[in-house]
Amino acid sequence: MILVGKKDGLIYSYFGIGCVFCSLVLFSLVFPLTQDTSRNFACRNVRICLGVATFPVQVSFPFPLLFLQVIKCKAAVLWEANKPFSIEDVEVAPPKAHEVRIKILATGICRSDDHVVTGGLVMPFPIILGHEAAGVVESVGEGVTSLKPGDKVIPLFIPQCGECSACLNSKGNMCIKNDIGSAAGLMADGTTRFTCKGKPIHHFIGTSTFTEYTVVHETAAVKIDSAAPPEKICLIGCGFSTGYGAALQTAKVEAGSTCAVFGLGGVGLSVIMGCKAAGASRIIAVDINSDKFAKAKELGATDCINPKDHKEPIHKVLTGMTGYGVDYSFEVIGRIETMVAALASCHYNYGVSVIVGVPPAAQNITFDPMLLFSGRTWKGSVFGGWKSKDSVPKLVADYMKKKFVLDPLITHTLPFSKINEGFDLLRAGKSIRSVLTF
C-alpha cells in the first residue's frame, strides 16, 4: 500500500515495498495538487520513506509544468484582409520559458486593429488581432518570477524589459522587444502558440487579445489591482493611455496653454482629458463629424471646429483663432494631410505638434521645411510615452481613486461573439470604444 501525507511543510510518501524512483514519481504527481503552483521551478525538501526508514532529499523539478496542457477555446480569426472575423475553435499551447498564458476577460476594439483588417497595416494571415485588454494569468512558463496564476493583468503591446537602451533611458518607452512594425506575427522563438484546423495562426504585436486565452512574454504583461473592473480598465491597455499620455508625457502640456486635437475618437478624447488634467486654458477639438462635439465638450474641449464649415485650410482657421497658432497640437487620425495641418497649426516659433495616430504603411510625408526651421517641434508618441510596466499599475490605481473617468469613452459593451458588429460601429462612426466581454 502507498500512503501520501504532508507534515511540517514536507510531502511524505510511505511504501511498504518500493523504491526511491517510484516515490519521486508519485510525489511529482501529487505535488501540484498540494502545493502553491505560483512558481513553476523550485527546490523542495522531500522526505522519502521506505518501510520504517525515512530520509530527506532535495528535488528540483518543474512539477506544475507537468500539468500544463493545450487549451481549446474560442477566438476571432482573421483569415484574410477585408473579410469579417470568424469565431473559431483554436488551440492555445502552454507558455514556454518566460511566457504567461492569460485568460482574457474583456478587450476593446481599436482603430489599429481595423487598419490590419483593411490592409492599412500589413500583417501575415491568418491572425488573431486585439491588443487592448484585461485578464487573469492562467499559467506561467519556466523562469517567470513577476507574475503567477490568478494575477489580474493588462497585456502590454509595448513591453518593458528593463534592460534595453529605451527602457534604461528616462526619456524612452519603446522597449526594443516590442513587436510593432514586425511582419512576422510570431513569438520571440519564431513560433506561434495558436493553431486552428491544423494551421498555425499568427500573433499581433505581442498580445492577440481577440481570444479567450492568449500567450505573451513576461515583459508584455503587468499585474494590476485585483478589484479593478476589466471591462473598464482594459482601455488603459491602449486607447486611454495613448491619448492621455500624449498630452502629459510626450508633449508635457503646460497650465494655461492652448491645444488643438485633430480627431475625436477614443484616443483623441483621451488627449483632451490629458490636456485638461494639465491645466490647458483652451482646448480646440477638430473633427469632420460634428456629432462628436458634445462628448468632446463633456470631457474638456472649450471649442469645436468642423473643417467642412470653413473655406480656409484648418491651420489658417486655428491661427486666426489664436493669433500665431496653438502651443500644442495632436494628430490622432493617422492621415498624412492632417499631420502636416496639425504641425502648421502650431505657434511658428515654439509650438509642439505630436503625431499620435498610426501612420499609413509605405507612405511618405511631404512638407515645407520652413515649418520646422522657425522653431516648431514635431514629435511622435507611442503608448503615450509611458513606460508600460511602471505606469500601467499606477494608471489603474488612479482610475480606482477616481482621478479620471473611463465610462464616457465606452459607448458599447458587446459579447465577444458580436465582434464584427463592434467593428461595423467603429467604421460607421457610431462608437467611441466598443468593449467585448467573455
pLDDT over 70, % of the chain: 84
Domain segments of the chain as ranges: 2-66, 68-237+406-437, 240-384
Q: Check pLDDT > 70 for residue 138.
A: yes
Q: Check pLDDT > 60 for residue 49.
A: no
Give the CATH class of 240-384: alpha beta
The C-alpha cell 487592448 sits at: 132
Grid coordinates of 269: 478624447
Asked if residue 58 lies in contact with residue 11, where contact means CB atoms within 8 angstroms, the answer is: no
DSSP element (H, E) containing 60: strand 53-61
Q: Check pLDDT > 90 for residue 326.
A: yes
- Rounded to the nearest 10°, the torsion over CA 280, 432, 81, 191 is 70
Asked if residue 102 lies in contact with residue 218, where contact means CB atoms within 8 angstroms, the answer is: no
Grid coordinates of 169: 533611458
- Phi first, then psi, for residue 308 (nearest 5°) are -70, -20
Cα–Cα distance, 261 to 278 (Å, whole number): 14
Using CA atoms, how far residue 189 sits from 44, 186, 193, 216, 220, in Å, is 30, 8, 11, 12, 15
Mean pLDDT of 143-166: 97
Per-residue pLDDT at 361: 75
Confidence of residue 363 (pLDDT cuts 50, 70, 90): confident
Using CA atoms, how far residue 384 sits from 36, 58, 102, 318, 420, in Å, is 37, 48, 24, 24, 28
Query: What are the pLDDT digits (tens) for 17-47?
Result: 334 444 444 334 433 333 333 334 333 343 4
HSE-up of residue 316 (Cα within 13 Å, Cβ side):
4
Per-residue pLDDT at 67: 63
74 beta partners: 89
pLDDT over 90, % of the chain: 80
Residue 362 backbone class (left: φ over 0; alpha: ψ -120 to 50; beta: rest): left
Question: 438 in helix, strand or coil?
Answer: coil
Q: What is the CATH number of domain 68-237+406-437?
A: 3.90.180.10
Question: 29 in helix, strand or coil?
Answer: helix
Query: What are the pLDDT digits (tens) for 176-230?
Result: 999 886 778 999 999 999 999 999 999 999 999 999 999 999 999 999 999 999 9
Question: 107 in helix, strand or coil?
Answer: strand
Question: 185 in helix, strand or coil?
Answer: coil
Per-residue pLDDT at 15: 36
Mean pLDDT of 313-320: 97
Question: % helix / strand / coil in the chain, to the nearest 5?
Answer: 30, 30, 40
Residues labelled catalytic: 110, 112, 115, 131, 238
The C-alpha cell 504641425 sits at: 343
**pTM for the predicted model, two decimal places:** 0.85
Grid coordinates of 110: 481599436
Domains 68-237+406-437 and 240-384 share a fold: no
10 Å Cβ neighbour count for 231? 18
